[in-house]
Structure formats: structure tokens, C-alpha cells
Structure 1
């Protein structure tokens, strides 16, 4: 069995994301990583949902920062971002939210943000505040590999991981480069296109996982288009280390009343946990 590459921070210790995947690997468990949009429908309910996801089996959580031009996202998450922006959510409020949950959230929180809000805020200032608020990692989907090197160093200096994405269209040599420079895990995008629920998992994902394993010693988490327990089981059978589920969670948030939304999301997380653990 392949051992994970140990990503060492400036403090010569494993990151929280590394530790989580190592523990899951030891217990032969698939990492379950829900995605939700911060501030959808409002920041207070986001706080409750984060706690409920942790309670109901999430191993890590990817938390989206709303942005007005989310190029990598499909309609479900685009609308969620619009709702969050209308509720007054911004990057500072997301950081404040996580700061308020320190000591309550014990699993890694991965922030998903486009680059422009981070640059507008001040990248180093953002990293310092994010780490102090308990953030463990960062995904920036519009950050090209050529620019990722300098940003990754800043993120690592603040004891967080900059997680890079590999797409179905990524050439093999570039896949190698991405795998060598991602931290925490490699995010494998399962489809060509934007986020969104799909009726079935494309069989080529199995080949993509195998191809990535040839050059990658990080954990591999598969995202985009995963929306059912069957999809989760398939990803586990194909040898991935984690599964990222976004639009399916966000859709349940948008279709639930404020009174019921936390419980509805929690029940769906339980279902995904059962699928991730099913042998």
C-alpha cells in the first residue's frame, strides 16, 4: 500500500489535513468532505450547518466564500453565492464566523475562494486571519499552477495547505507538476465543466484515479458531480481516498425552510457517511 507523502510546514509538523487523511487511511476509511456556501441562506444558519455536518460524520468541510463571478461553479452553487452575497456575507464575515466556532469545530475546514477576493483583502493578511480562525487549507480554483508556487509558500508559512486541482483534461506531465506542489491532498475534478449534480459517475474517473496514482503520493479526493450514495460507493471502489460533495448539499439547503434546513442537511450527511463506510 502506498504511503502518503508527508507535507511538512515551517513548524516541522504534519498539517491538520495530513493528519486527518493519515488517520482515515490507517482505519481504511474514505474521507467525506461536504461543500457548503458560507452565508447561504445566512451566516447564522451556516454556523449551525457546520456543527451538524461535523456531528453527522463529515471528516473535513469545504466552505465556499461567495463571489460574484464563480466561473468553476454550476447554477446551483452560483445561485447559492448570490443568496449569500445578498445576505451580506463577505470574506471578513466568513473568517469571523470560523473564529466564533473555534473549539467547537475539530475537523479541518478548507476554504474555497476565487483569487480576486483574497487579493483585494490582502493575501498575507487573509492567511494570517484565516489560520487564527482555525482554517486548515485553501482551494483557489482560478489560480494557475504557474502562480501557485509563490502563493503556496505564503499559505504554508501560516501552517495551512494550498490544495491544487487536477482536471480530466490535464496533461500527464502537468499532472506530475501539480501533484508535486499540492499540499494536504490532490483534488481530482471528475468531469469536464462546472460543478453540479450528475445522474451517473463517468467510468473514466476510475482511469483518472489510476493515472494520477502513478505520479501522486498525496491522498486523492474526487469532486464535481458526486450526488448520490451510489456515486460515493463507486469512488471508494475505484481507490480514491476522499469524496467531495457540493451541489447535492447546496441544493438541499436551497430547497429547505430555515426551520428545517439544518436537520435536512444533517440527514443527507448521514446517508453519505453510510455510503462512504459501506464495504
Structure 2
């Protein structure tokens, strides 16, 4: 298990923001990482844009399109991470799709990600049964392949948890990413099933957009993941988004601390 990821859950409840690399630009993405760390983020998810992001709702899909049309490539994302690592040691994981990794070359991608200082990888379109071809390579290079569990995973949760690395990503809502007015899933029950199988942190994502939801979800888990609400700010304010994102992350981290 990656030491940096494990440590990010040792200082109380973790707040994990997600941003799409290159939206509005890679220069802004780099500055956002520093701003979010200053605002209290414990671990950061960096999305590598992909033309067909099946798990994403309209907000993150639009960000992917903007980033790709701005010329973002996987190599440019790696170069940006190298720059970030000169200034920050905050734990970071990539979130992208199997196709992005395949087309780059699985071993080449994972090796490079580890070399530039990434800590983990999330592939939302790779089911547990098909993770082996990625998992072995990730273990070889010390990158945690983060497992996702959904509300429908019941009988599979303990099986997935036993083999999980880093933290378990608990998907709070069925469907794609996006802001939800209410989260009705019994997160506490999902987390209990994971903990029975393995002592590993559980972070909840998909649908969390305001401090009240963040506090409630953090009360039932080890951390909260927020993407769409942050990506929306990036889309809304463009190159001016940094202070707005920083303020939002601080408010969410404060709420998570209260849980």
C-alpha cells in the first residue's frame, strides 16, 4: 500500500477534490493543486481527459472535451505532475479510463506515473473481475490501484475490499457523476462491509456538492470525494477559477472536520 495515501487518512476525515487536467489549462491545473492543498485538501484526484468518459455526468464530460480540444495529452499531464512534485508532496491519484492506459501502453503508463510521483490510479470502467492486468503492474511499480464499490455491489463488497489498495472508493449514487440534492444510499452499511473484510480507509464520492452533504457522508466514512462541483467552478470561471475553488475546498474541508 502506498505510504502517502495511507497517511492522508491519518489526520482525521479526509477531503479529496477532483479536477480535470487541462481545464481550463494545465498551468491553471498546477496552480489549483497548490491552492487546494493550502485550503486543506488531503489527497487530490487528477482526471486525465478522455473522449468517452462513461462514468461522468455532463459537467465532467464537458471539462474533458474542453481539455482535449485545448491539446491536453497524457504526456503533457505527466510533465505537469513532475512540476507539481518539485513544490508539493500532497498525495495524488490519477482517475482515467482503461483506454487511456491501454493506448499509452499499460506498463509504460504505470511506470511513468510512478516515476513522476503519482501515488495511485482509479479506473472506473474496469470491473473487479478484469483488474488483474492493471493490478499486477501497479503493484510492481508501487502505485495503488483504487477499487470502487457501488450500492449494488453487496455480495461483492467484501471480495473487492479484501484485495483493495490505498483506499476504497464508495460510490454513493447509481448512475454517473454529478451533483445530487439528496443521497439516499446507506453508506454506513457499505463501509461496515468493507471494514469487516479489511482495515482500509473508505472515501465516499459521486453526488456530494455542499458542506451539509460532506459532513453527513464523512460521519459515515473516512473521507469525502468531490468532483463535479469543483469542475463546475473551473468551467464557470475559466482561468479566474483558482480563488473560487480554493474557497470552496476550504468550506468543504471545514465541514468534513466537523463530522
TM-score, normalising length: structure 1? 0.89
Q: CA deviation at 1:103?
A: 2.5
Match of 1:255 among 236, 240, 253: 236
Q: For residue 123 of structure 1, what is the aligned residue in structure 2?
A: 106
Q: CA deviation at 1:207?
A: 2.8
Q: For residue 154 of structure 2, what is the aligned residue in structure 1?
A: 171
- After superposition, residues 185-264 of structure 1 pair within 5 angstroms as 185-238=167-220, 240-258=221-239, 260-264=240-244
Q: CA deviation at 1:179?
A: 0.6
Q: CA deviation at 1:128?
A: 1.3
Match of 1:152 among 117, 135, 145: 135
- After superposition, residues 1-279 of structure 1 pair within 5 angstroms as 7=1, 15-21=3-9, 23-24=10-11, 29-172=12-155, 174-238=156-220, 240-258=221-239, 260-278=240-258
Q: Distance in 1 between matches of 2:4 and 2:193?
A: 27
Q: CA deviation at 1:203?
A: 4.9
Q: Distance in 2 between matches of 1:265 and 1:273?
A: 12
Q: Distance in 2 between matches of 1:165 and 1:232?
A: 19
Q: Distance in 2 between matches of 1:198 and 1:221?
A: 17
Q: CA deviation at 1:257?
A: 4.1
Q: CA deviation at 1:236?
A: 2.0
Q: Is the 8 A contact 1:15 1:159 kept in 2?
A: no
TM-score, normalising length: structure 2? 0.96
Q: Which one has the bigger helix percentage?
A: 2
Q: Is the 8 A contact 1:33 1:62 kept in 2?
A: yes
Q: For residue 10 of structure 1, what is the aligned residue in structure 2?
A: none
CA RMSD of aligned residues (A): 1.3
Q: Is there any run of 5+ residues in structure 1 with no aligned partner, and where?
A: 1-6, 8-13
Q: Is the 8 A contact 2:50 2:68 kept in 1?
A: yes
Q: Is the 8 A contact 1:189 1:223 kept in 2?
A: yes
